[in-house]
Amino acid sequence: MVDETRLVKKAIRGDSRALSELLREHYSFLYQYLLKATMNKSRAEDVTQETMLKAIEKIATFQGKAKFSTWLITIASRIVIDRMRRNELERHWLQEERSLRSIQYETIREGVDWSDALQALGRLSSSIRIPVLLKYYYGYGQDEISAMLDIPVGTVKSRLHNGLKQLRKELTEHEEA
């Protein structure tokens, strides 16, 4: 532990050999943690490497309030969580895109015109699209929408405003094209 403290102090002052030794000593420990955290060998390898790079970049910010290994695990955990969020967003976007194409295909197959307005509506995020549909397609009031979606009336107003603004922009750009 005394040796690690000495290495950390040297690394913080810019000693690249000390930093290299610290990272080498903790590599296996970190990788084993990430194998369990990700349950994926390839992902664990990637995140281990990314964590090591972040540690190199941020070593000057290490304050020594926790052990060096704890600091590395904190960095690694945040990377894993960020990647999971990013992957979830990408999956959600792909699912909505597939759903939109499916509805478009069904509508056209049934001989109904797929309007530019529906196309533009489909490009809105669901958090904005739903209030716009409820208000302008189904005729519900802002208070009703607020109750239905369990969000404040101010949020409903904001989403309606932003939705209309985005729709106008999309439709105007489409007409000019």
Read off the amino acid at residue 135: K
Give the closest residue to 5 by CA, choosing from 65, 46, 89, 84. Answer: 65
**Residue 34 confidence (pLDDT) above 80:** yes
Digit-coded pLDDT (tens) for 38-67: 888 999 999 999 999 999 999 999 988 888
**Residue 133 confidence (pLDDT) above 80:** yes
Record the pTM.
0.56
**Residue 29 confidence (pLDDT) above 80:** yes
- Say if residues 169 and 157 touch (Cβ distance below 8 Å): no
**Residue 99 confidence (pLDDT) above 90:** no
The per-residue DSSP string of 4-27 comes to HHHHHHHHHTT-HHHHHHHHHHHH
DSSP state letter for 177: -
Residue 55: is it exposed, middle or buried by C-beta count within 10 angstroms (0-12/13-18/19+)?
buried
Helix (H, G, I), strand (E, B) or coil at 15: coil
- In this prediction, residues 86-93 reach a mean pLDDT of 80
**Residue 21 confidence (pLDDT) above 80:** yes
- Say if residues 167 and 113 touch (Cβ distance below 8 Å): no
